[in-house]
Amino acid sequence: MAIDINKLKARLGTLNNKSSTKDFIWKPSGKHIIRIVPYIHCMDNPFIELKFHYGLNGKTFLSPSTFDRPDPIVELVNKLKKTGDKEDYKQAKILEPKMRVYVPILVRGEEDAGVKFWGFGKQTYAELISIIADPDYGDIADPKSGRDITVEFIPKEETVKKQFPETTIRVKPNSSVVIDPSNKAVMEKLKNQKNILEIYKEPTYDELSENLEKWLSSGSSDEQSEETASAPVNTEVVDDEPPVKSSTKKDEPKSEVKKAASTQDVENAFDEMFKKK
């Protein structure tokens, strides 16, 4: 039987197509303008809440408890909390999963790079929700009438107290379309967003059990929170919280996104792309 050369070439392409978490996860450094976009895999809500076990044998694991599935580490946490012992409770706090929230974005000036995921903690999450809940702003992720956001990250070395880094969020006063629908290349990338669960894959129950046993047998008790954890597999260093500051000043310049020629064309283009599945 003759070898199918085309299939071999296709397979070679997949082997050579190496991508890392950094290709899809965006981390602010300095000042950037971004736009939250609808999450194509869940049109009702662009905010994706995930729970992670940080610093377990030098790795970070997505917790199955994110999806209300059994997690041996969470089971141990619950047992430790019930003993009434302070040391057990302290150990439980180290082991329990920490929430991290991700939202799909376009980085202004880098739209050709496609959709990235911006990850942050509870404080930034609460601030963004409060902005959306404000009737003066509303759905800032709306592709037709949402708003860009200026995000500025200040390293702790440059802050006043030099204890924590700071993230400042400033929402643009003017609404705008997320991208001109005539930009077919970026429109296609919006449509073909990566599923974040392809970036952060859920481990099996057995895999977590094995790593938990290894961690316990090593006698490790060093806590690594989401602010300090650095893991080699499917994770990024998290250091943008706390705290977060926000401003809704109306002195920001308009976003430089060009408006489409026809309002109706904009309506039709985004209604078709982001229609609920």
Q: What is the CATH number of the domain that holds 136?
A: 3.90.198.10
pLDDT confidence of residue 272 = 66
| Residue 271 is assigned to a structural domain of this protein | no
Please state at what angle helix 263-273 crosses helix 184-191, rounded to 10 degrees: 30
Q: How far apart are CA 228 and CA 88, in angstroms?
A: 22
**For every residue of 181-236, which 3-state class applies, written as one string?**
CCCHHHHHHHHCCCCHHHHCCCCCHHHHHHHHHHHHHHCCCCCCCCCCCCCCCCCC
When divided into structural domains, the chain yields a total of: 1
Per the CB < 8 A criterion, the answer to whether 123 and 107 are in contact is no
- For the chain, the 3-state helix, strand and coil shares in percent, each to the nearest 5, are 35, 20, 45
> Is there a contact between 116 and 104 (Cβ–Cβ < 8 Å)?
yes
What is the extent of the structural domain holding 150? 21-250
E strand or H helix at 48, and its extent? strand 48-56
Question: Which residues, in sequence order, are CB contacts of 195 under 8 Å at separation 6+?
Answer: 41
pTM for this structure? 0.77
Residue 49 maps to a domain: yes
Report the percent of the chain where pLDDT is more than 90: 58
Coil, strand or helix: which one is 197?
helix
* Residue 133 included in any domain: yes
pLDDT digits (tens, 9 = 90+) for 114-162: 999 999 999 999 999 999 999 999 999 999 999 999 999 888 888 777 7
Query: Residue 67 domain-assigned?
Result: yes
Is 246 inside a domain boundary?
Answer: yes
Output 58 or 75, whichever has higher pLDDT.
75
Tokens of 268: 């039709």
270: in domain: no
CA proximity to 61, closest of 32, 98, 116, 27: 98
Q: Does residue 70 lie within any of the structural domains? A: yes
SS3 25: strand
Cα angle vertex 45, ends 136, 94, to 5°? 105
> For the residues 9-33, what does the mean pLDDT come to?
72
pLDDT tens profile 159-198: 777 778 888 999 999 999 999 989 999 999 999 999 999 9
| Residue listed under structure tokens 């705290």 | 243
Average pLDDT of the chain, as a whole number: 81
Which residue is associated with the tokens 């006043």?
160
Q: Please work out, in degrees rounded to the nearest 5, the angle formed at the alpha carbon of residue 258 by the alpha carbons of 253 and 262.
A: 130
Reduce the DSSP state of residue 99 to 3 states and report it.
Answer: strand
Residue-wise pLDDT for 209-259, tens only, equals 999 999 988 865 544 444 333 333 333 334 344 445 555 444 444 444 444
- Residue 128 domain-assigned? yes
